[in-house]
Structure 1
Amino acid sequence: MKLPHSVCALMVICSSLRFSSGSDEGAPHPPDCNITLQFSSETSSFSRGNGNIQQRSMSPWRWKSTSVKHQIPSTLWEAECVSSFCSSPVSGPSQDYSLNSVPIYQNILVLNRVKGSHCYTASYRLVAVGCTCVWARTNPN
């Protein structure tokens, strides 16, 4: 089968344009980053109303911060249970050994900057957001 002269000429032109356009054949092109996100760092009225809930809890915790430079949010606050046991509801510094203090976890959405670009990838990070009391595990005999 013989191709017409004009089709052959067109194929030669297209081939030469393709090879002259660069040698990045097979290299993946970076995704377009054309979405603008706006973030607010304001504290919600719900969290302000809780006051020092981490200290008033029967399963108190303290906050520990972790910062990552190219991540949004750049600082995550994680709860650390103060004790393995819960405080007794009776006034005084007693502990209830039948109740254990355990962390409560939540998946937090974070954006991580792609190295060398202004693009971000979304992922989840499991973070302790507080502590609660649970019945201690017993060893059945």
Structure 2
Amino acid sequence: MSTRRHRKYTQLPLSMALAFAFMICFLLGSASLLEAAPYLQDVVGHWAAPYINTMVDKGILTGYPDGTFKPDGNISREEFAAVLARAKGITDFGGKQHFSDVEPDRWSFVSVGALVDARIIHAEDFGEEFDPTTPITRAEIATMLVRAGG
């Protein structure tokens, strides 16, 4: 497999997540996308910068603590869970630890737990461990989006 083809397939989960983010952006009402100011240092000049910045304005996307977004990187399961929970406004969480590797002190604990409680993430699909830092697959994204109703 060529490097170009390999890169195409490794970036598909991020593309799917960005497509979801764009869809939410338009469902929530679009701001002036072309006038969006750059908030994250590494999105300046990127083709998706106006969309990313609009989603940052809406509180759906956030960057990393170092001020980057990594627009061409993969998105992990826990990162997608956080984006989906924010996009759908899902905050109800009973506090139960559903996965052994998503502990209460983990930054994604509430987002992952809220999506399990909302039956968007099914614990039985993953078993004991969620593997939160693993890049999310297109199948997992599609499943969660359908369960989330959109």
TM over 0.5: no
Structure number having the greater helix percentage: 2
Structure number having the greater strand percentage: 1
Question: How high is the TM-score relative to the length of structure 1?
Answer: 0.20
Comparing both chains, which one has the higher relative contact order based on Cα–Cα distances under 8 Å and sequence gaps of 6 or more?
2
Question: How high is the TM-score relative to the length of structure 2?
Answer: 0.20
